[in-house]
Amino acid sequence: MPELPEVEIVKRSLKNKVKYKKIKKIIISNRNLRFKIQKNFEKSLKGKSIVNVSRFSKYIILTLDNYNYCLIHLGMSGTLHLVNSKKKEKITNLSFYHSKILPKKHNHIKIKFSNFTVVYNDPRRFGFFKLLKNKKELKKYFIRSGPEAISSKFNFKYIKYKLLNKKKNIKNCLLDQTFVSGIGNIYANEILFYSKINPTKIAKKIGISEINKLIKYSKQVLNLAIKFGGSSIRDFKNAKGVSGLFQNKFKVYDRENKNCIRKNCNGKIIKIFISNRASFFCEFCQK
């Protein structure tokens, strides 16, 4: 599943292509995604211009000229492809995972513009599109979501209060989208390594200095990942067909049995499973 940095790259790619463009037609070949596509979806979007493309957490948000909103969540395997009607492009994928070119199967939604079409492809159908009528509905949709880790709201006061008396481990806290939005398994591993925190440590035992490290390195790791175009796990590509490079900077993720790269550390990276998710950490320097 894409995390905040990958979705940010997709958002930027999509924004560059569709902002201020008018939707000519919507074609839906399968309404049965994670949530069934609303009956009025095609009619509500047809003829509308997209005035902005934004992102919150792992969601892409299309703002229409009537100030309706269309949420897009890519799920586990969803990809967005840009198909030019005048010329065939070698690379159509605006997203990540799977083929650089548009697959023949599992194309569920087509959003047609004057000279190109955005196609949503999703073999596993865990992604979804949802139409919201106004800003009030948009705010309500995210009311239970925690602040993004890269925002100023993810601060010492907030974290200390939220972790008070929390009995679950810190790794699961970072993956809890009601606590902090946008962090997934890959970046949780990296953030905890930089913070020198063992992923199994009980959240209520996280100290003051560790909270400050979580704040610092959550922002640092995610912003660095955005800068390097995301992580190319299973062929992530941006709109220009360029791979994300952040996987080259992994300190612990997918480095089982390798030496810790931290200076003056003689530990090795070990792999365990926490809530059925692979967790990588240094047995020596992450306490």
pLDDT tens string 98-132: 677 788 899 999 999 999 999 999 999 999 999 99
- Is residue 148 a part of any domain in this protein? no
Four-residue CA torsion sign, 224, 225, 228, 229: negative
- Is residue 151 a part of any domain in this protein? no
Pair (165, 209) in one structural domain: yes
Pair (129, 163) in one structural domain: no
Full strand arrangement of the beta sheet holding 50-56: 50-56, 59-64, 69-73, 128-132
Residue 245's pLDDT is 45
Active site residue 3: yes
For the entire predicted model, the pTM comes to 0.89
Pick the catalytic residue from 17, 34, 168, 277. 277
Q: Is the pLDDT of residue 237 over 80?
A: no
Pick the catalytic residue from 2, 6, 171, 213. 2
Q: Are 188 and 200 in contact (CB under 8 A)?
A: no
Pair (275, 171) in one structural domain: yes
Which residue, 74, 26, 20, is CA-closest to 49?
20
pLDDT tens string 126-171: 999 999 999 999 999 999 999 999 999 999 999 999 999 999 999 9
What's the number of domains the chain is made of? 2
Q: Is the pLDDT of residue 89 over 80?
A: no
Pair (135, 230) in one structural domain: no
Active site residue 42: no
What length is written for the chain? 287
pLDDT tens string 24-75: 999 999 999 999 999 999 999 999 999 999 999 999 999 999 999 999 999 9
Residue 97's pLDDT is 54
Residue 180's pLDDT is 98
In percent, the amount of the chain with pLDDT more than 90 equals 77
| Residue 201, beta-bridge partner list | none
Residues 6+ apart with CB under 8 A from 152: none
Residue 52's pLDDT is 98
Q: 111, 141, 171: which is the final residue of a domain?
A: 141
Give Cα 195 distance to the centre of its chain: 22
- Is residue 131 a part of any domain in this protein? yes
- Is residue 149 a part of any domain in this protein? no
Active site residue 2: yes
Residue 92's pLDDT is 83
Q: How far apart are CA 186 and CA 260, in angstroms?
A: 17
Q: No. of H helices and E strands in the chain?
A: 7, 10
The CATH number covering residue 243 comes to 1.10.8.50
Pair (82, 40) in one structural domain: yes
Pair (201, 81) in one structural domain: no
What SS3 class is residue 266?
A: coil
Pair (166, 238) in one structural domain: yes
Q: Is the pLDDT of residue 242 over 60?
A: no
Cα separations (Å) of 99 from 76, 81, 84, 122? 14, 10, 17, 12
Pair (110, 56) in one structural domain: yes
Pair (119, 179) in one structural domain: no
Pick the catalytic residue from 55, 58, 213, 237. 58
Active site residue 31: no
- Is residue 70 a part of any domain in this protein? yes
Cα separations (Å) of 198 from 181, 213, 272? 21, 13, 11
Which residue, 154, 161, 211, is CA-closest to 182?
154
Residue 76's pLDDT is 85
The CATH number covering residue 16 comes to 3.20.190.10
Residue 108's pLDDT is 97
Range of the domain at 108: 4-141
Lowest mean pLDDT among 77-91, 161-175, 213-227, 249-263: 77-91
- Is residue 150 a part of any domain in this protein? no
pLDDT tens string 193-202: 999 999 999 9
